[in-house]
A = this chain, B = another copy of it.
Amino acid sequence: MEDKAQIQEAIKVQGEVVRKLKSEKASKEQIDEEVAKLLELKARLGGDDGKHQFVLKTAKGTRDYNPKQMAIREKVFNTIISCFKRHGAETIDTPVFELKETLTGKYGEDSKLIYDLKDQGGELLSLRYDLTVPFARYLAMNKITNIKRYHIAKVYRRDNPAMTRGRYREFYQCDFDIAGQYDAMIPDAECLKIVHEILSELDLGDFRIKVNDRRILDGMFAVCGVPDDKFRTICSTVDKLDKMPWEDVKKEMVNEKGLSEEAADQIGEYVSMQGGMDLAERLLQDHKMSQSKQACAGLSDIKLLFSFLQLFQVTDKVVFDLSLARGLDYYTGIIYEAVLTQAGVAAVSNEAQNGANAEESVSVGSVAGGGRYDGLVGMFDPKGRKVPCVGVSIGIERIFSIMEQKAEASAEKVRTTEVQVMVASAQKNLLEERLRLVTELWNAGIKAEVMYKKNPKLLSQLQHCEESGIPLVAILGEQELKDGVVKLRVVATREEIDIARTDLTSEIRRRTSEA
């Protein structure tokens, strides 16, 4: 124990140091450092003096997950991971931060959203912005030329997110990627099959998977007369079509990006097109589109893709949509995005609450996206060796939000533990006997709890079971101990039966495997 008076004296001195630095307009860093020392001293004091300075909150754009949210998260992860494993994926993990230069030049304009670590000496580091760039770095670094892997981890973006719509500065990504030189469109089709399986199993309502190809977009821009150096910026304007009506998108192209009205109108015609394999066939005959070799390569691949999707039995949800652009720079071929078409009652009401406008609520639906990126790994390889990749990222945070809202709306209670039985007693002085019994149960692999009180009331023990959904109570009393039995109570029905102590674990197992 430290001497209080001594610390108080130190606080006084340190307070002077801080005041002096401030009056001298010392550097922010120097002042911060001395303030930190002061706060530390105050904290050590443990008294009220040390209390006020704490702002009790999580960092902006982040949140804690409470046990209920974690139970939902676990369920969603299990569904997704099962699907990834069913398709033979391995998993890897990478550090939460990378060398800053590893991320440089991969995200275009969004680079400003990267979190940097403070330079505390040593390497310059940044928090990962997605899982794709670390994956590419991993492949190049380990000279891996083919792998099918999933990676579920948090990524970081200094955005101004709408947290009510499940958007945060710290959020999970849930990626599945296939790297390797393979025959066209087979891995690409499997990615879409996976999205179809996951969204179906999670039971989020109807959905659609939009598909397009970067080569079709580029070819379309070329034949519509977009200058080469405007492809990228026009592409990112097209990307806004899910949030803005065509009229506004056109205005941006013409007024802000300096595109000719005529070119914009031609683009407008194409990006309104949606269909399946038939549309790809039609566009291959289109007198303008067919002039672009790139577009034709993309369109042929879309045809091939749909033939595989038919075999995979998922064409009911997939649509070839020329308005799909997707933001990221590194895509080189097929791109896709899954949207929920019934945005979900809960999600919509939440939108309304927060006064979001109608256009915004449309984009609530996007729950998965991805595409082919054949150049990214080569950017890391010293010799520029390419490893073709295709992958999909599940928009897990949005799915959490929807599942949480569904759970709120449902009458069924979310259990946050898996406890099968509570060891209880109605009488006093049976702590030792309770601990002895719960040990027997734990050692037999039964999930069991006991109250950490010498003499808890039976009522409070039963209440705990009700609250946390524990289905059984094993009740001990003098009589039961004498008879070598335990009174097993079913919480839901209040039924009670005496069970021989030797049969207890098998009886608990029998009763809880039924449930």
Residues of A within 8 A of B (CB): 1-3, 6, 32, 36, 39-44, 46-48, 50-60, 62-67, 70-71, 73-74, 85-102, 104-106, 111, 115-120, 122-125, 127, 137-138, 140-142, 147, 149, 154, 156, 158, 170, 178, 180, 182-183, 186-187, 190, 193, 197, 218, 228-229, 231-232, 308, 311-313, 375, 378-384, 416-419, 431-432, 435-436, 439, 442-443, 445-449, 452-454
- Copies of the protein in its oligomer: 2
CB–CB A442/B99 < 8 A: no
| Residue of chain B at shortest CB distance from A91 | B70
Which B residues touch A118, using CB under 8 A? 115-119
- Knowing A59-B123, A228-B1, the reply to whether A95 touches B380 (Cβ < 8 A) is no
Which B residues touch A94, using CB under 8 A? 58, 64-65
20 contacts between A and B (CB under 8 A): A2-B229, A46-B375, A51-B383, A54-B382, A57-B99, A59-B125, A60-B122, A71-B90, A85-B417, A86-B446, A86-B448, A87-B448, A88-B417, A89-B417, A90-B416, A95-B170, A96-B156, A120-B158, A187-B452, A197-B442
User: Which single member of B116, B142, B308 contacts A66 (CB below 8 Å)?
Assistant: B142
Which B residues touch A190, using CB under 8 A? 452
Which B residues touch A229, using CB under 8 A? 2-3, 6
- Give the top 10 A-B pairs by smallest Cβ distance, nearest first: A43-B105, A182-B452, A40-B105, A67-B90, A62-B95, A88-B449, A116-B118, A65-B93, A186-B452, A311-B435
Which B residues touch A58, using CB under 8 A? 94-95, 98-99, 141
CB–CB A91/B104 < 8 A: no
- Knowing A183-B454, A452-B187, the reply to whether A381 touches B92 (Cβ < 8 A) is no
User: Which single member of B101, B105, B447 contacts A85 (CB below 8 Å)?
Assistant: B447
Which B residues touch A97, using CB under 8 A? 59, 62, 170
User: CA–CA, A6 to B231, complex, Å?
Assistant: 14
User: CA–CA, A140 to B60, complex, Å?
Assistant: 18
CB–CB B117/A36 < 8 A: no
CB–CB B66/A105 < 8 A: no
User: Which single member of B64, B102, B439 contacts A92 (CB below 8 Å)?
Assistant: B64
CB–CB B56/A101 < 8 A: no
User: CA–CA, A217 to B66, complex, Å?
Assistant: 36
Which B residues touch A99, using CB under 8 A? 55, 57-59
Which B residues touch A63, using CB under 8 A? 95
Which B residues touch A416, using CB under 8 A? 90
